[in-house]
Structure 1
């Protein structure tokens, strides 16, 4: 009965997000000229789409490598890639709050068997991505203001964010002790302490945090470049700096749990942010939906990768069962 309730809640959450995406997309196609959006689609050639998709795949291989490094290379790199692309697939089809990170961690945990370290690596991975997006948005904003000479300020701000990230990692063990000291009856104290120790291990490796941050900035910057290439083909004509300002902000906004993978929300936000710089909203939406198609194809490919390599999970399961027996 409890499982049935959880399933029902997950389905309801999925339905709410699907309704949110449908609402945003419906509004876009209602208020914007549909002919202009469709015309934008027609300008994307198969060769361009395939090239963008190929580079997008390479970017996610690099993203899997970043996550793998944060896990201390505790699993084979092939497993990290398989888990990462399975997470992309999960972002498309799983209902409720069960998202890509949970699926990615679940597959990796079959071999790593270290839940606290897995949790710390996953949270650090997301925090680093947020810092990278904030840095890119700040750099774009400074360039838009005609302050390209002050771009080192973006580097300084990014450095401050890295320091805050490291300080928060160092502060977590003390915070955990303080919380359970004040409320000793709170559950999961042992798990919280193990996770905080895993964060401390990361905090003692600032070089690793810096390398993974640089990887994240490079990956996200490459994705912005791909989006610009699609948008130029559609007919969007705005400064590149506007993209570096708007794209990260739209991605952050799309994280809000009101849509399916940001569908509809990302395109609406991106159009609203780029129109002041001379973009036509319909063309921005067309380019954004083509980008969404890239995400969907990548997610479907992730599902295929998982199915074709599913046998690779069995040895880890059997080994763990044998050791437990």
Structure 2
């Protein structure tokens, strides 16, 4: 690890730790509510865990749709296997070599085509940038009360608009012939943007495949929303209906991917306290919901351990994939 990477890692660890300390000072969290105290709560918690596990599988199916659209033939079970491995790395090894690096390097090894493998991972991520804002607007459209919640409504709409704006800028910047020629000259330093250009070049004539990617992405994001909703019931949160989850959970998911901490820890809990607070949910319960989701994600990540043990990736492949993604 370079000095720069180590410094970034320390900063991210510091941000997560600082946010958690602030939240625990600001909010009197009762850790007892994290443990279900009756059969009904246990059932909701198990359902939430099943949704988190299912979301990893659905993410692999979304990835499969991208692979097929880009003419990359790979078995679905391999993508599921790689997704769990990537989830484990993202959860337990807070380094610059994240889950996406594992996925790129392993898919490249499976197919012998790392450039296209890299493009599939980039586009699989970008598809979520389209679906998450749509979910926010759908949730707000379905419930008029959610459109007048002050900071929560403004925050969710802002997250959706900014996400769509950034996505539009990326598509405009990478989706034309001039940028393609320019990016080809700087392929090494702008690998991810060159991958976007290559993907757009292929997908612009495949509207049906694009529709399948977005549909699978919507199913995946819907499963994550359901996971949050089930987890809220296990804690006993009242006033957090499914339409509210549909509107605000995607906003939380957008915020938590910002490179401010490790695994969204602290960022996710603070965002939930903001959005759910306007619904009348106590701050301690909102923070507990974030910690519950984090714990369920950690448990789900354990399914990726066998993949890392029995299907090792060379250091060179990891370094090359990391260089493209960073």
TM-score by length of 2: 0.78
Find the aligned partners of 2:146 and 2:255 in 1 and give their Cα distance: 26
Higher mean C-alpha displacement, 135-144 vs 285-294: 135-144
Find the aligned partners of 1:286 and 1:255 in 2 and give their Cα distance: 19
Q: Residue deviations 1:243-285, cap 9 Å, x none?
A: 2221111111111111111011101101101111111111111
RMSD: 3.3
Larger radius of gyration: 1
After TM superposition, list the pairs within 5 Å mapping 1:243-322 onto structure 2. Answer: 243-307=245-309, 309-310=310-311
Match for residue 178 of structure 2?
174
Higher mean C-alpha displacement, 193-202 vs 274-283: 193-202
Find the aligned partners of 1:8 and 1:304 in 2 and give their Cα distance: 31
Distance 1:264 1:187, change over 3 A: closer
State the SS of the aligned residue for 1:71: helix
Tell me how far 1:146 sits from its aligned partner: 5.0
Find the aligned partners of 1:11 and 1:170 in 2 and give their Cα distance: 31
Higher mean C-alpha displacement, 99-108 vs 39-48: 39-48
Match for residue 232 of structure 2?
231
Contact 2:66 2:123 in 1 (8 A): yes
Contact 2:118 2:195 in 1 (8 A): no
Q: Which of the residues 35, 38, 43 maps onto 1:41?
A: 35
Find the aligned partners of 2:92 and 2:116 in 1 and give their Cα distance: 27
Segments ≥4 residues shifted beyond 6 Å = 189-195
After TM superposition, list the pairs within 5 Å mapping 1:139-150 onto structure 2. Answer: 139-145=138-144
Contact 2:48 2:227 in 1 (8 A): yes
Match for residue 15 of structure 1?
10
Contact 2:45 2:234 in 1 (8 A): no
* Ranges in structure 1 where 5+ consecutive residues have no aligned partner: 1-5, 149-156, 318-325
Size of the aligned set, in residue pairs, is: 293
Contact 1:41 1:287 in 2 (8 A): no
TM-score by length of 1: 0.78
Tell me how far 1:189 sits from its aligned partner: 9.3
Contact 1:166 1:206 in 2 (8 A): no
Match for residue 320 of structure 2?
none
Match for residue 102 of structure 1?
101
* Ranges in structure 2 where 5+ consecutive residues have no aligned partner: 148-159, 318-326
